Amino acid sequence: MHKINIAIDGPASSGKSTVAKIIARDFGFVYTDTGAMYRGVTYLALKHQVSFADEQSLVKLIEKYPITFKQTESGQLVFAKGEDITDAIRQPEVTNNVSEVSAFPKVRAHLVKAQQKIAVSGGVVMDGRDIGTTVLPDAEVKIFLVASASERAQRRYKENQAKGIKSDFATLKKEIEQRDYTDSHRSTSPLRQAEDAVLVDTTGMTIDEVVTAIKKVIKEKV
């Protein structure tokens, strides 16, 4: 397989990162989790007590603490300058505020530039909300993953249970729907399917079934 770029977009918990990691591993490509970068800025704002509404100061944080990835045997690590923030960016306080931070055009412009740099030589599987529409409009393969909100909340609920984290299904579902609404209604690069993306509704599908469906699309396109 030559070094094509694969864009995987979709709403929260549609399975993007899980399947993107498997596809990247199987093709020997690099996986890039762009959500981790927006989460990183949100974490930095919390840490440095910068208001989520202060776009200019958020941009300064990105410039001062560039967010980068490091591939390791046990998975991908996320860094803000020298600090390993891989686990810290998953905390609920980050999750519940990231959509506000990611709506700012200047925050997006900085992170989109960094994402495009990662993909410049090809061989990247990148997941997010605007990869097919804005970050990599020329990606050879574009997938838009969806699933019902109930199923996506159920997946998160099970994931939390497996990690020993207590959560409530109704609250998870509400939070997911709220984040999808904010992500889809912002003016800069809202979450939407690119015209040339292939829609995969994963409701009721296992991870293996989704991976097989995406590999079929890749085979047909390339």
Q: Is 14 annotated as a binding residue?
A: yes
Q: Is 197 annotated as a binding residue?
A: no
Q: How far is the CB of 95 from ligand CDP (least distance, A)?
A: 6
Q: How far apart are CA 90 and CA 88, in angstroms?
A: 5
Which 8-27 positions form the footprint of ligand CDP (CB under 6 A)? 10, 12-18
Q: How far apart are CA 44 and CA 33, in angstroms?
A: 17
Strands 124-128 and 30-33: parallel
Between 67 and 98, CB nearer to ligand CDP: 98
The site that binds ligand CDP (CB under 6 A) totals a number of residues, namely 28
Among 98, 143, 146, 149, binds ligand CDP (CB under 6 A): 98
State the residue for tokens 């412009």: 109
Tell me: does residue 193 bind ligand CDP (CB under 6 A).
Answer: no
Q: Is 10 annotated as a binding residue?
A: yes
Residue 120 CA neighbour count, 13 Å, CB half: 6
Q: How far apart are CA 222 and CA 203, in angstroms?
A: 26
Residue 2, C-beta contacts closer than 8 angstroms, at least 6 positions apart: 122, 222
Which 125-164 positions form the footprint of ligand CDP (CB under 6 A)? 128-131, 155, 159
Binding footprint of ligand CDP on the chain (CB under 6 A): 10, 12-18, 34-35, 38-39, 98-99, 102, 128-131, 155, 159, 179, 183, 202, 205-207, 210
